[in-house]
Chain A
Amino acid sequence: MNQGPTIFLGVFLTFASAWLGLVVAPYVQLEAQRSQNAAKVDAPPETPMEGLPAQGRQVYRANGCVYCHSQQIRPENFGSDIARGWGPRRTVAQDYVGERPVMLGTMRTGPDLANIGTRQTSAAWHHLHLYNSRITSPGSIMPRFTFLYEQHQVVGQRSSAALTFPPEWDVKPGYEVVPTNEAKALVAYLLAMDRSRPLEEPGP
């Protein structure tokens, strides 16, 4: 008996039944309708970050922050991202327009940062946290980014950008720690991260 056509028919039927059988259920599950109405933000997409925050994105990229931090909020009934206060709504495609690269992330060794600019508005906190995360967050396992900072002797007046440490962490007297341009850019990027603009209601 010629097995060829039999095999071909078997393959074709498998393929076709997979399509028919498995497309329907997941579609319903994944709220296909809601995302198909193409949720839009209620203002035109913001221009991609320019200037210092854009440079900061490259510092984020160069140092692999994406390997511990995500930048995406899952829908309300899928995980607890919104309940944790990481954002008021799920993130949609428009939230990432113009980003190069897009760093959605796939690990949450650290918290999600999609809206960190709305949660943490203090540049000073960010600098301390990046210099040594255990200063602001005991128990943190984030690496120290001391190479983004410069420690030197105070000459005359303390620099206005110098970090202010809590007493138990202070550097030795006569010395100060100032951020490099890279650190300033990175903090500007973190402060600018905001994907919380409300969505339009889906049309009728």
Chain B
Amino acid sequence: MSEQTISIAQTESQRQAFARQRAAIDASARWPVLGFFTGSVVWLLIGTVLALLASIKLHSPEFLDGPSWLTFGRIRPAHLNTVAYGWASQAGIGVTLWSMARLSRTELRYPRLLMFAVLLWNIGMLVGTIGILAGEGTSIEWLEFPAFAPPFFALAFAIVTVSTMVTFSNRREPHVYVTQWYLIGAVFWFPWLYTAANLLVIYAPVSGVSQASINWWYAHNVLGLWMTPIGVGSTYYLLPKVLGRPIYSYQLSLLGFWSLALFYNWAGVHHLIGGPIPAWLITLSIVGSVMMLIPVITVAINHHMTVLGSFRQLRYSPTLRFIVFGAMSYSAVSIQGSLQSLRTINEVTHFTHYTVAHAHMGAYAFFTMIMFGSIYYIVPRLTGWEWASGGLISFHFWSTSVGVLVYFIALTFGGWYQGLDLNRADVPFMTIVRNTLPYLQIRSWAGMLMAAGHLAFAALFAMNLLHFGKQRSGPTLFFDRPDAATLTVIGDAPGRTV
């Protein structure tokens, strides 16, 4: 054989070896990740129904208002908890597990234990949600599940953290990619937050007004140290992977992570500006909120510059559409958040629908859209089946992106005017209420558009699990589990020290 044919054969076998490794990793993650994704889709649908109910009840208060379990004050927290812990967190865990395994270039550890965690998590969701609707909710925002529910989540989460960290510690890839830093941060910080907040507010409540401080320290950190790292981290992996080009400035990405880690956890108490809370704590929260501009701007530069010149690709990749939308929303909502913590702005926006718009920009336009994009990328690689309909995917994208933008614009304007009027003592309260109604109605319409998108998404997901559509094809996919010998060939990279 000539030299050229030998090297071609070597390159070809290298390609196959890497493909086999990747297929093995995807196979190891299949059941746990699909388990969490299935749970997330189910609760997305439930949370969407609750969202529509809550939205309609605000401008049409007598809509379905007979029984106690349908009153707005129970539906609204049920909505928040089902979408935050049922949809967003389960999607986030699924993405975390798969991403950590892929980036570590090793199989996901403890898959059976993780399936048990799926079960625990969803049982917790069920009993917690029923608890809220039954009047057992705690009325502590983001912690409304009654005391019998959190232990399920705490145990499930411990399993997730252990699996993630053990997978990481067995990594074959010596370099710790920026996404892995974000994910380690998320699984490391969130259990601590969740346990501390539950203990200090639900199980052995601290006295008086300091409950509120713990409450909002926790609630904001769910966004900042749980959702943000997963959303931003996933973008850092999938954006370059889909485009086939590396992140614009890798150094900048690390600066972004470390500054987020340093500053984000101070920011939470900005929800209580003007309230009966010690000034030093409020000061720190404003400092943290403003300093967050550093990581936010670095992330914005990085994501934008990576995609620059390739916006055409958005036509061809579902994942890219959702992730780019989500990444842009991240920059927008974060800068908005930093501004909102400043006294002059806060004086107007606090207590209004403006805050609700901001919350949905973050949890939906940023995090949920990135989760959609990630799920579109990951699921076919786990099931081996293509998505059944490109048209439905497009419909999902347009209905949710337009829906959330309309939502955001309507409530931002409505909330701003509401705040301005609230600060003018001569404007009667009922006038302010009446003026918010058109914006609340627009929000309901936007919500229905988003709901339609969720139905399309759920249908696509179900169809993929049930193997409707085409099998995935291509030179890089293997379905039978490769034997151990082939895997170790590429695995043990030299120079890894820990």
Contact = CB atoms under 8 A, between A and B. Distances in A.
Judged by CB atoms under 8 Å, the answer to whether A and B touch is yes
Interface residues of A, number: 70
Contacts of A35: 278-279
A178 interface: no
A-side interface mostly: loop
B173 interface: no
B65 A144 contact: yes
Contacts of A100: 205
A33 B77 CA distance: 37
A146 B283 CA distance: 44
Interface stretch (A58-66, A150-158, A165-173): A58-66
B259 interface: yes
A64 B137 contact: yes
Contact of A79 (B259, B262, B271, B274): B274
Interface stretch (B53-61, B323-331, B377-385): B53-61
A193 interface: no
B212 A139 contact: no
A101 B140 contact: yes
A1 interface: no
Contact of B68 (A60, A63, A85): A63
B208 A143 contact: no
Contact of A62 (B135, B272, B434): B135
Interface string A108-143: 110100000000000000000000010001111111
A31 B294 CA distance: 27
Interface string B276-294: 1111101100110011001
B66 A84 contact: no
A64 B74 contact: yes
B208 A27 contact: no
A122 B201 CA distance: 33
A72 B283 contact: no
B192 interface: no
A103 interface: yes
B137 A61 contact: yes
Contacts of A63: 68, 71, 73-74, 135
Interface in B245-265: 251, 254-255, 258-259, 262-263
A15 B276 contact: no
B423 interface: yes
Contacts of B343: 26, 29-30, 78
A80 B290 CA distance: 26
B272 A104 contact: yes
B422 A14 contact: no
B494 to A, nearest CB: 21
B244 interface: no
Interface string A41-65: 0000000000000000000111111
Given A75-B274, A79-B274, A141-B61, A64 B208 contact: no
Contacts of A142: 61
Interface in B60-83: 61-62, 65-68, 71-74, 76-77
Contact of A90 (B209, B212, B272, B276): B276
Contact of B61 (A3, A72, A143, A147): A143
Contacts of A140: 61, 430, 433
Given A26-B283, A93-B276, A18 B135 contact: no
B451 to A, nearest CB: 21
Nearest to A32: B279
Contacts of B423: 79-80
Contact of B422 (A64, A68, A72, A80): A80
A11 B137 CA distance: 42
A140 B429 CA distance: 10
A141 B433 CA distance: 8
A64 B276 contact: no
Given A95-B276, A96-B209, A80 B425 contact: yes
Given A64-B72, A64-B74, A11 B429 contact: no
A7 B201 CA distance: 39
A23 B276 contact: no
A83 B425 contact: yes
A75 B278 CA distance: 14
A14 B298 CA distance: 14
A62 B258 contact: no
Interface in A69-103: 70, 72, 74-75, 78-80, 83-85, 90-103
A99 B430 contact: no
Contact of A144 (B62, B212, B347): B62
Given A35-B278, A107-B351, 7 more contacts: A11-B262, A64-B72, A90-B276, A104-B272, A106-B271, A139-B430, A143-B61
14 contacts: A11-B259, A14-B291, A35-B278, A61-B139, A64-B72, A66-B139, A70-B351, A80-B424, A84-B429, A91-B276, A96-B209, A102-B212, A103-B139, A141-B433
